[in-house]
Structure 1
Amino acid sequence: MTEQSLAADFFDTLYQADPDPWRFETSEYEAAKYAATLAALTKSRYRSAFEIGGSIGVLTEQLAPCCDALLSVEISALAQERAIERCQHLPQVRFQLMNVPHEYPDNSFDLVLLSEVGYYWCQADLLKAQRRIYESLEPGGHLLLVHWLHDAPSYPLRGDDVHNAFQDFAAIAPLNAVFSQRTADYRLDLYERP
């Protein structure tokens, strides 16, 4: 495990070389995972949603129709420019450059989505993010985690590290586990703040 979270320059380098480095727009795997992500949400509508690490906005665009307001933040300006362009027809979506957990919005949310982001943080930043996410989550609000499970040596953590840390955190926070799904490639966990 590395001692530091991955910084904006790591992602900017990837997006400069390829505007869609993870094939969010074309991958069957990503399409199926996005469908499972949206299907896991147990409410038909969210008043105020927060997406951490929106990348180029493919999932943002799909999530927006069930949100009255959606704040999507990203560490890479290059990625977020594409997300803004993709979602310009969705007036309920706002975008902001933000380095979570060091920066965090003042708002409260009834949905926080952490999809494919947690393993870019070091352990200390993951713990800080847990506290900030929990504090921003309204009673009855949902936290949805989705992470790839395979080894990526350049990432500080693995998907299971992130989900296991939230599972431990949920026991003391408190957060109630609502739904869990594990495939060969990703893990999905939905929590509700009581």
Structure 2
Amino acid sequence: MSVPTVFFDQLYADNPDPWAFKARWYEERKRALTLASLPRQHYGATYEPGCANGELSAGLARRTDWLLCSDAADRAVELAQKRLSHCSNVEVRHSRLPADWPVRSGFDLIVLSELGYYLDTDDLLTLIEQAMNSLLPGGQLLACHWRPAIEGCPLTGDRVHALLHATLGLPKLAQHREDDFVLEVWGRSPDSVASLEGLK
């Protein structure tokens, strides 16, 4: 069973930043690495489910024409809307995945940051299928997850990434692995950043 929405509602009940995204150097550094790992300088349409209070979203908003963010927790949606209120290219929605995957023509980038281990295997596989069906030609998917086991979560970050790699069946464009977290990018096209700029 995937982690219920009430778990996230309780986290935000007394704390607008339950994971200390704004306070911890660990989180600031991970955001910088996440954004630096994106192979393209700019994207057309981006989807970031599980956006929490919108800290990573603010960086993504500068790299895309249109950013859709979503979260299952009402308070997280409110905080993200406030954090991103200055960004005219951002829409924040309330949704629980995989049931509420957005209906639109497609995305150039999908970002799954610290989300996958809250889903059980069946829900994660459904989400991966939805992501694949939503990726436009040349589209890319970035995933970043904490690696140690989390009490109450059905999966570990390593298991999430193993399922992503096996199920997506796409070329891996970037990989960064530390004791704490793993960050990977897959794309429909195998072209590297250097090759796209004619350097090889």
Task: Give the TM-score range, shorter chain.
Answer: over 0.9
What value does the CA root-mean-square deviation take over the aligned residues? 0.8
User: 1:8, 1:153 → 2: CA distance?
Assistant: 16
Once the two structures are TM-superposed, the CA of residue 152 in structure 1 deviates from its matched residue by 0.8
Residue segments in structure 2 that go unaligned for 5+ positions in a row: 190-200
**Paired position in structure 1 for 2:196:** none
Query: SS at 2:43's partner residue?
Result: coil
- Equivalent pairs, count: 188
User: 1:116, 1:110 → 2: CA distance?
Assistant: 20
Given the two structures, how large is their TM-score scaled by the length of structure 1?
0.95
> 1:70-98: CA deviations, max 9, x gaps?
00010001011011101100000001111
**Paired position in structure 2 for 1:131:** 129
Given the two structures, how large is their TM-score scaled by the length of structure 2?
0.92
Correspondence 1:33 to 2:34: no
Once the two structures are TM-superposed, the CA of residue 165 in structure 1 deviates from its matched residue by 0.3
User: 2:84, 2:162 → 1: CA distance?
Assistant: 33
**Paired position in structure 2 for 1:148:** 146
Correspondence 1:116 to 2:114: yes
User: 1:152, 1:192 → 2: CA distance?
Assistant: 28
**Paired position in structure 2 for 1:15:** 12
Q: Is contact 2:132-2:168 (8 Å) kept?
A: no
**Paired position in structure 1 for 2:186:** 191
User: 1:140, 1:12 → 2: CA distance?
Assistant: 36
Q: Comparing 142-151 with 162-171, which one deviates more in the overlay?
A: 162-171
User: 1:136, 1:129 → 2: CA distance?
Assistant: 10
**Match for 1:157: what amino acid?**
L
User: 1:84, 1:55 → 2: CA distance?
Assistant: 10
Query: SS at 1:42's partner residue?
Result: coil
Match of 2:53 among 53, 56, 77: 56
User: 1:19, 1:64 → 2: CA distance?
Assistant: 21
User: 2:188, 2:120 → 1: CA distance?
Assistant: 25
Query: SS at 2:80's partner residue?
Result: helix
Once the two structures are TM-superposed, the CA of residue 7 in structure 1 deviates from its matched residue by 1.7
User: 1:80, 1:49 → 2: CA distance?
Assistant: 17
**Match for 1:7: what amino acid?**
P
Once the two structures are TM-superposed, the CA of residue 100 in structure 1 deviates from its matched residue by 1.3
Query: SS at 1:68's partner residue?
Result: strand
**Paired position in structure 2 for 1:42:** 39
**Match for 2:176: what amino acid?**
Q
